């Protein structure tokens, strides 16, 4: 009997219509297009302006896009994994609501949160369920409405983040394709450098925490950048060494879209030519849990069956890692 691996068999995505450009940000905070572009590589980001719509709206749209393109029956989905740092609400799992809304009523569903590494960790989780042999179709969605936790008077964070969602379907494969290996890590030293201070059990909401804007994301940019550059590059290098891969063996790098300089550092460590490094950060900014599937969706037309793809991400906590996957299909 051939070994079961977990392969991506379909992708979908959704981004809101409203485009927040660097030029618009110039009218909101003390910054400019040249500074933002040179420091981050970001030109614009998408924002979900509807006050009555949350992350679930983005997730549902991305899942529906995948379902339509792959022509699958939602009733056949066994599990919906919702990777997000911005759930609709606390306690009530956003994934459960999304699963019901897309008609995946035979699936169980839950949320997975590891900041910007959420989707990467979700890939590992989805693959484990498939490889167990118990489940045949696992839908992994990465979605975040980052605008809901950004303080648009804070120029260090408001220039970075955008809203969006992407989804992938994992299914069993017996051809040796799909997820091959993973190198996942975390370090609690990052707890104070990238966070939302209030709203959790440590600092519950009060009038004071709201007035002090402690419910918005904050980061120590220099420290986060230093750790991200080192660890994302290290993880990618480790996954190559563990699998005896060279830069020639890698067809594409799919990196978390947080900062172009971090992506460049990772690609340089892997000694990859520019054409193999996939980026859409200039159009979407950092959509947190959605960056990796948005890249897959945008560049799906380039992938060929058997291609070697390396994923890499870094997020708050700190959380980070790299995944080695062989692509399982040619786009029709």
Residues labelled as active-site residues: 116, 256, 286
Pairing of strands 5-14, 163-173: antiparallel
DSSP class of residue 303 equals -
Which residues face 168 on adjacent strands? 11, 140
CA distance 216 to 73: 39
Q: How many CB atoms lie within 10 A of CB 94?
A: 22
CA distance 78 to 272: 37
CA distance 5 to 45: 35
> What's the sign of the alpha-carbon dihedral 92, 98, 101, 107?
negative
Cα–Cα separations (whole angstroms), residue 271 to 181, 264, 266, 274: 20, 10, 9, 9
Check: CB of residue 128 under 8 Å from CB of residue 140: no
Angle at 43 between CA 31 and CA 313, to 5 degrees: 105
Q: Which helix (H) or strand (E) segment is 194 a member of?
A: strand 194-195
CA distance 224 to 220: 6
Pairing of strands 79-83, 252-255: unpaired
The per-residue b/e assignment along 242-268, b for 16 or more CB within 10 angstroms, e otherwise, is: eeebeeeebbbbbbbbbbbebbbbbbe
CA distance 218 to 158: 10
């Amino acid at each position: 009997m051939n070994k079961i691996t977990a392969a991506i068999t379909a992708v979908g995505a959704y981004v809101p219509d409203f485009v927040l450009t660097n030029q618009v940000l110039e009218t909101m905070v003390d910054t400019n297009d040249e500074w933002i572009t040179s420091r981050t590589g970001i030109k614009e980001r998408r924002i979900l302006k509807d006050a009555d719509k949350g992350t679930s709206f983005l997730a549902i749209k991305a899942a529906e896009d995948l379902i339509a393109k792959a022509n699958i029956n939602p009733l056949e989905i066994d599990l919906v994994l919702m990777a997000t740092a911005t759930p609709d609400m606390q306690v009530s799992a956003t994934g459960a609501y999304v699963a019901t809304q897309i008609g995946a009523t035979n699936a169980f569903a839950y949320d997975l949160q590891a900041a910007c590494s959420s989707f990467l960790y979700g890939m590992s989780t989805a693959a484990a369920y498939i490889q167990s042999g118990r489940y045949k179709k696992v839908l992994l969605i990465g979605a975040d409405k980052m605008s809901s936790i950004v303080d648009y008077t804070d120029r260090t964070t408001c220039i970075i983040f955008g809203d969006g969602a992407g989804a992938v379907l994992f299914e069993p494969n017996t051809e040796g394709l799909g997820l091959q290996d993973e190198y996942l890590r975390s370090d609690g030293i990052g707890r104070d450098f990238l966070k939302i201070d209030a709203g959790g059990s440590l600092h519950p909401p009060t009038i004071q925490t709201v007035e002090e804007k402690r419910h918005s994301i904050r980061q120590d940019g220099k420290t986060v950048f230093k750790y991200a550059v080192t660890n994302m590059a290290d993880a990618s290098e480790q996954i190559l060494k563990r699998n005896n891969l060279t830069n020639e063996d890698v067809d594409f790098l799919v990196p978390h879209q947080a900062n172009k300089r971090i992506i460049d550092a990772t690609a340089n460590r892997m000694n990859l030519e520019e054409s193999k490094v996939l980026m859409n950060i200039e159009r979407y900014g950092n959509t947190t849990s959605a960056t990796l599937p948005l890249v897959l969706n945008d560049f799906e037309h380039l992938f060929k069956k058997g291609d070697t793809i390396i994923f890499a991400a870094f997020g708050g906590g700190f959380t980070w890692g790299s995944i080695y996957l062989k692509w399982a299909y040619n786009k029709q």
